[in-house]
Structure 1
Amino acid sequence: MGKPKIYRNFTTVEFYDSYLGNSTEDIPFWLEVTKNDQEILDIGCGTGRVAIPLGIQGKTVYGIDNSMAMLQAFREKINNQYPQLKNQIHIHQQDMRSFHIDKKFHTMIIPDISFNHLATNQDVNDTLQSINQHLFPGGKLILEVINPIRVVTNQTKTIHKHVQTGKYFLTWTLGKYIHDKQIYETANYYQYCDAQGKPENDKITQVNIYYRFYYPQEMDYILEANGFRIINKYGGYDQSPFTGKEDLQIYIVRKNK
């Protein structure tokens, strides 16, 4: 029997790039921390939000994701918008917990808090061991996770514009925190509307996602126990030091030699 899916019902990409996948706030960070790296493995690459800017900078990028729908959207972007990157970007449908690529890397990244989708300790250990197997000794891993200083269980409705169709849609989130498992379960809703937010019809798309929360000392220990040493820990994309008050924990670690 195969492993259970890391996240549930995350098969639609209809709204992804308009709501999440179109963000560029962190792109300068990923370009900066990989500026001396020529070949990169992007784990949880999604629709190519980070991989494509890296490719534009002349880097060779390998991307893995377990969502076929995400990867199909990624391929369509390459074919239709960035054909010059066809020989630089290589994508594979693989589970981060058990991926296999017939090569090793000096640099890997896990953007978009994808590491938070690993729900169990076994998931975490399997992922870091898979990374270890594909990372050269002394190789670099850069990842980000949520800093669980607060849990927002519900988000009010907001209006967004679809990047491809120009249509407007509402989105809102209902969530709950399962304390004994450190899991934040969310139901994310999307509904087409007019520019004022009036729904077009009764059709609502629901996407269920969960996030495992890692507390700061816990995350430090997980990385160190799996054969990595922490080089830098940031609290933001400006590379400011982590103090514990920020929304993110951003790590640059190296595999022990």
Structure 2
Amino acid sequence: MTDARPRLHDFRGKAAVITGAASGIGLALAEALAARGVDLALADIDAHGLDAARARLASTGRRIFTRVLDVSSDADVRDAAAEFEAELGSVHLVFNNAGIDMSGELASLSEQDWQRAFGINVFGVIHGIRHFLPLLRRHGEPAHIVNTASGAGFWVNSDFPMGAYAATKYSVVALSEALEQELSGTGIGVSVLCPGPVKTPIAEHSIRASEQFKAIVAAGTPPERVASQALEAIRAGEFYIFTPTRMRPRLEKRFGRILDALERAPDMTNGPATT
């Protein structure tokens, strides 16, 4: 049986767009891609971080274009896409990676908190799909888009009040699953990156993260390892990308609960039940 999943095997000479590129997984992706001969368009809300990233990558010999970007703004992402294409020409890789933490019990979060979390974590991906995906379609060559979700996109961690964050990441998983279906047969691959704790500044930038949560993040997987794994998964045409994590027992418990509930559901063999 032939494996029909789209594969982008050779990165050299290609160009990539990365949001959330000033630190963490985004910066690690930039370094890994530059080492593999990829030109880069790096975007982030953090101007100083972008300047530092550009300086860090200067010795790679690749073209590096940086732009301050608010991914929650559709117009800003639209304008950035046009600039990236003008600077780099054909784009073959897109990483919708920008994201923020949002901790706190659901009822305690303000309307502004909810708008910010969904604006960056969810609409940032939506805007990336709307405006970066056409760049991949333009040249008709194999390409790939990666949306960064989280292990929290599959289960809600009862140890920390992060239901809002989980809600945004569940959304990213669903968006990615739908996008994979829509792009089937086009030569554009889709992956959803679902890391467990990663040693990034995400907790440091949160005003509500507990000291326990910050300690778990500080002991997390190095972002360089996550980036390397993501690039290998692109080559392999993998959709779900999980980093080292202990979440399997929790997932088995969650899906077992779902399957048990389905077993108790009315039998639809003879048509829908009437009330």
Establish whether TM, by shorter chain, passes 0.5. Answer: no
> What's the TM-score, normalizing by structure 1?
0.40
Higher strand share: 1
Between structures 1 and 2, the one with greater helix share: 2
TM-score by length of 2: 0.38
